Amino acid sequence: MVVHLITNASVLDSPGKFQASVYIIHSLGAALPLIEWVFIFIPIIFHGVVGLFLIAEMAPNNAAYNYNGNFRYTMQRITGLIAFAFIAWHIFHMHGWFHAEWWAATVSGPLGGANFHPYNAASSASEAMRHPLAIVIYVIGVLACVYHLANGIWSMGVTWGWWTTPRSMRRAVVGCAVFGVLLAVVSMGAVWGMVTVDLDDARAVENRMLEARIEDGMITEHEAEEKRAPLAPQNRDRAATEAEPAAQEF
């Protein structure tokens, strides 16, 4: 999550910088879906399902004992629920969950998912996030994830015996809080950077980067077609009548 948020925040530097990072990730090619499922989706599903069982057994006592630790116990569970729902929605919104054509045609496309196009990375992510409701969901969802991670590291340290004395626990609270605040700043920078992308500039840079890679033979025309954003309808008609594909405007 830390790497993901820092990568996303690189859009603040420029859409080209973000695009360059996405090219590195997508250079994994056919291995990417396997890596996504083994190292990202299955662990998140596992963590989420175990978490739901823990929440079902929770016994909050904030009303009777208004301690800081009790507040964090309850917040950890509330943010866990929000984070689980957010991550499920977010992966659908950007990635679509599955890449199969029938899935895209019947489920993720019609339901407004799979908006991220890796070869038009910043512009497609930005277009997907511009709606006011999407921005609100992103801000709440991302901050819930950040809190859940920072406070979760603290409780993991208690469980695993990293901090055992009251003094070391207090110091760990401060360390985890500083980490959480820094990550919250990075994450809000990422949201801000995405929604304020200049779409025309970003599309132009992304398309130049893609054309260069096609020319170098690093990306095939077929792969480019699969992973670039579709042409806007008004440009589709014009592109069909133009002989030179490189002259297409987006």
Contact at 8 Å (CB) between 14 and 204?
no
The CB-nearest residue to ligand HEM is: 190
Residue 136 in the binding site for ligand HEM (CB under 6 A): no
Instruction: State CA 24 to chain mean position distance.
Output: 16
Contact at 8 Å (CB) between 125 and 94?
yes
Residue among 88, 94, 169, 224 that touches ligand HEM (CB under 6 A): 94
Q: For the segment 31-70, give every residue that binds ligand HEM (CB under 6 A).
A: 36, 40, 44
Residue 142 in the binding site for ligand HEM (CB under 6 A): yes
Residue spans of beta strands (DSSP E) within the chain: none
Q: Which is nearer to ligand HEM, 90 or 203 (CB)?
A: 90
Residue 125 in the binding site for ligand HEM (CB under 6 A): yes
Contact at 8 Å (CB) between 191 and 139?
yes
> What's the closest the beta carbon of residue 130 comes to ligand HEM, in angstroms?
12
Torsion of CA 98, 17, 148, 157, to 10 degrees: 110
Q: Please tell me the distance from the alpha carbon of residue 75 to that of residue 1, in angstroms, as a whole number.
A: 19
Q: Please tell me the distance from the alpha carbon of residue 185 to that of residue 9, in angstroms, as a whole number.
A: 10
> What's the closest the beta carbon of residue 17 comes to ligand HEM, in angstroms?
14
Residue among 84, 92, 116, 119 that touches ligand HEM (CB under 6 A): 116
Residues that bind ligand HEM (CB under 6 A): 1, 4-5, 8, 36, 40, 44, 87, 90-91, 94-95, 116, 118, 125, 138, 142, 145, 187, 190-191, 194
